[in-house]
């Protein structure tokens, strides 16, 4: 399977964000990708006051990416968008997966919400405007089982262990808008750890650059193999990077170093 991770700088103009995302998906398709992964909040990263009305899964944003997947003939992981939530004050942070025909194959709502206080550096409470999801999700894509997650989920290894051991994931996707001040020290380390401990490929698509209001994201989108080797990494600009996944290599690693089978807890 040939995969593409897309890196972009979403801002406060939703139509422009969607148009940019389509351009990256087109580049992914032109490069032969079977599957492309977009970052978290591909639809909008701006002020809360300017947020367009959140939509259901079959709303404008969902239909846009369903059409893109069908038109380009590839699987598309819409890293996340603002889905209409359980009450007027909260949305869901939702990942959608569309198959080659544009049919919705999976929906995952971010479970772990980013509530952080770092004095003098960041004060962010995702739970004040976002409702948490509840269920881990794995989707089969051209015979390969893909476990879904979003950004802050990356810090909770028990989610990925469940995706790999109970739900059979071979690939883990991590769309993100990882902030610069934490990401420069933690992003790659955490991605490689999740790959090594679960013996899975990891596809990480990130937002990059400054966003409104006063937020800067790391970028550094990458693909990590089941041995923990970074096999592809985006430069510090919007764009697309490619990698070829080898299920045979994954099975060899799991057979020769059977850490998942050797677990005792």
Which candidate in 110, 141, 200, 217 is catalytic?
Answer: 110
Query: Please, what is the end-to-end C-alpha distance for the chain in angstroms?
Result: 33
Using CA atoms, how far residue 162 sits from 88, 169, 188, in Å, is 32, 9, 21
Peptide bond connecting 205 to the previous residue in cis, omega within 30 degrees of 0: no
DSSP 155: G
The question of whether 40 is a catalytic residue gets the answer yes
Rounded to 5 degrees, what are φ and ψ at 240?
-130, 135
- In this structure, the number of other CB atoms found within 10 A of the CB of residue 206 comes to 27
Which candidate in 6, 40, 55, 95 is catalytic?
Answer: 40
As a residue count, the chain comes to 265
DSSP 112: S
Which candidate in 6, 95, 151, 200 is catalytic?
Answer: 151
In sign, the C-alpha dihedral spanning 202, 244, 256, 251 is positive
The question of whether 110 is a catalytic residue gets the answer yes
Active site amino acids: 40, 110, 151
């Amino acid at each position: 399977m040939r995969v593409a991770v897309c890196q972009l700088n979403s801002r406060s103009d939703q139509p422009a964000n969607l148009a940019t995302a389509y351009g990256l998906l087109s580049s992914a398709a032109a490069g032969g990708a079977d599957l492309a992964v977009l970052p978290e909040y591909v639809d909008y990263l701006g002020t809360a006051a300017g947020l367009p009305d959140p939509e259901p899964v079959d709303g404008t944003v969902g239909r846009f990416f369903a059409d893109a997947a069908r038109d380009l003939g590839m699987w598309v992981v819409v890293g996340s968008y603002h889905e209409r939530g359980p009450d007027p004050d909260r949305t869901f942070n939702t990942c959608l997966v569309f198959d080659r025909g544009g049919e919705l194959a999976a929906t995952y709502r971010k479970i772990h919400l980013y509530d952080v206080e770092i004095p003098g550096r960041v004060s962010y409470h995702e739970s004040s405007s976002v409702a948490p999801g509840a269920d881990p999700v794995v989707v089969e894509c051209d015979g390969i089982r893909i476990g879904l997650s979003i950004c802050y989920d990356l810090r909770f290894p028990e989610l990925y262990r469940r995706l790999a051991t109970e739900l059979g994931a071979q690939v883990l996707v991590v769309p993100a808008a990882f902030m610069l001040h934490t990401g420069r020290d933690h992003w790659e380390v955490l991605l490689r750890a999740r790959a090594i401990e679960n013996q899975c490929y990891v596809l990480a698509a990130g937002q990059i650059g400054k966003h409104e209001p006063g937020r800067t994201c790391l970028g550094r989108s990458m693909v990590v193999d089941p041995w923990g080797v970074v096999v592809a990494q985006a430069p510090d600009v919007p764009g697309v990077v490619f990698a070829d996944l080898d299920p045979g290599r994954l099975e060899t690693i799991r057979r020769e170093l059977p850490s998942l089978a050797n677990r005792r807890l």
